[in-house]
Amino acid sequence: MEGKRQFSDKALEDFRLIDKAVNEGDQQAFASLMARYKRPVYHMILKMVRNVDDAEDLTIEAFAKAFKNLARFKKDYTFSTWLFRIATNNAIDFIRKKKLETMSLNTSFTDDSGEAVQIDVEDKRLNPQEEAIKSQKVELMRMFVTKLPAKYQKLVKLRYFKEFSYEEIAKELDAPLGTVKAQLHRARELMYDLVKNKKDHI
């Protein structure tokens, strides 16, 4: 459709960081990519799910999945387009599973370069490929959780694996809701660090 694509300086810098991350295992390169896109990815997801805590969870999942598959990234498109598509489709999967009526599936999103981000929506049941992706995502999260301090592990397991709500976790642990939210926020920050430094943990 197009001839040779012209990429912005920002996109070219992303490509350089990806090469360093994939070829050299450069942890700072992973951190730089996350620093560049954590905020826009989070805000895009927040528009979709309309819940701060869920948006933070889904942002972690998007980066975890993107970094795990970074070696497969092809430079036909910008990194931001690829990342936003991963984040969007992961959020759609979450919305579909939770049956949240928070957005129109006809809503179009654009990445930070202004390119349209495709949202793949099929039927409401997960197909085998989606089940495999979900299973892979759970395994990835389990790997990170084992690296967390013990006091955070139970919280994260209840939230991610048993899919408890924050209120249900508070009741299960007989803890104030505010404490649960604060500790889960801290656990997410630690998991961000693990995602950035994944070369040490895989």
Please tell me the predicted confidence (pLDDT) of residue 161: 75
Rounded Cα gap, residues 167 and 171, in angstroms:
6
- Provide CB contacts within 8 A for 48, sequence distance 6+: 88, 91, 92, 95, 102, 103, 107
Rounded Cα gap, residues 29 and 14, in angstroms:
9
Please tell me the predicted confidence (pLDDT) of residue 171: 93
CATH class label, 9-200 = mainly alpha
Block means of pLDDT (10 residues each) for the chain, length 202 residues?
Answer: 69 94 87 90 92 88 87 91 93 81 50 56 50 57 73 83 85 92 85 62 39
Strands 116-117 vs 109-110: parallel, antiparallel or unpaired: antiparallel
Rounded Cα gap, residues 140 and 95, in angstroms:
20
Please tell me the predicted confidence (pLDDT) of residue 202: 38
What are the Cα distances from residue 161, in Å, to 77, 137, 145, 155, 193? 33, 11, 11, 10, 20
Please tell me the predicted confidence (pLDDT) of residue 113: 59
**Which amino acid makes up residue 16?**
R
Are the C-beta atoms of 154 and 173 separated by less than 8 Å? Answer: yes
| Domain ranges (residues) in the chain | 9-200
Please tell me the predicted confidence (pLDDT) of residue 73: 92
9-45 as b/e, with b when 16 or more CB fall inside 10 Å?
A: eebeebeebbebbbeeebeebbbbbbebbeeebbebb
Identify the three-state secondary structure at position 118. Answer: coil
Please tell me the predicted confidence (pLDDT) of residue 2: 43
Please tell me the predicted confidence (pLDDT) of residue 145: 75
The pTM of the full predicted model, rounded to 2 decimals, is 0.61
